[in-house]
Amino acid sequence: MKDRIQIGGGLGLSFGDIISIEIAPAIGYRVTPKLTTGVGFRYSYYKDNYFKYSTNLYGGQVFGRYLVFQGLFLEGDFEANNFEVVKVTDPLTGIYTIERDWIPSLLLGGGYSQQVGNGRSVFFISILYDVLQDQYSPYYRVPVIRAGFAIGL
């Protein structure tokens, strides 16, 4: 069982009207040679250029990666992130409030992984898109690019 456990994490960048820079430690379990699932914690520095504010975001995730063909994989991540959300209370005057809230995201996409070392460790890069598109999501209308590693125990 120990040989199926992977520890690692990732880094993420997202650019546009919203900028997000993140670090995400994770632990995964290789269910089959092609399917890995896991959980992780996420911390991000988040900046919204439209409303001219920044915040610190934290949250958790559940993820799955399915190896399709020689390093190419499909990925799905469900996240719940807590951060300060700008909510416009009066569109005519531009008056807004800032409230800390939990926002869900469902990121779907794919990527490429490369085995390194003894074959139980991998480096990966993925491109994901939040299909829930909650207007307060840190991933609203922008692709999410992530890179990371997983080391087999």
CATH architecture, domain 2-152: Beta Barrel (2.40)
> Using one digit for the tens of pLDDT, what is the confidence trace for 22-71?
899 999 999 998 999 999 999 989 888 887 788 899 999 999 999 999 99
Q: Where are the domains of the chain?
A: 2-152
Predicted TM-score (pTM) of this structure: 0.83
What is the per-residue pLDDT across 74-95, written as a single tens digit (0 to 9) for each? Answer: 999 999 999 888 787 777 887 8
More confident of the two residues 51 and 121: 121
Provide the sign of the torsion angle of the four alpha carbons 18, 37, 106, 112, taken in this order.
Answer: positive
DSSP string for 20-83? EEEEEEEEEEESSSSEEEEEEEEEEEEEETTTTEEEEEEEEEEEEEEEEETTEEEEEEEEEEEE
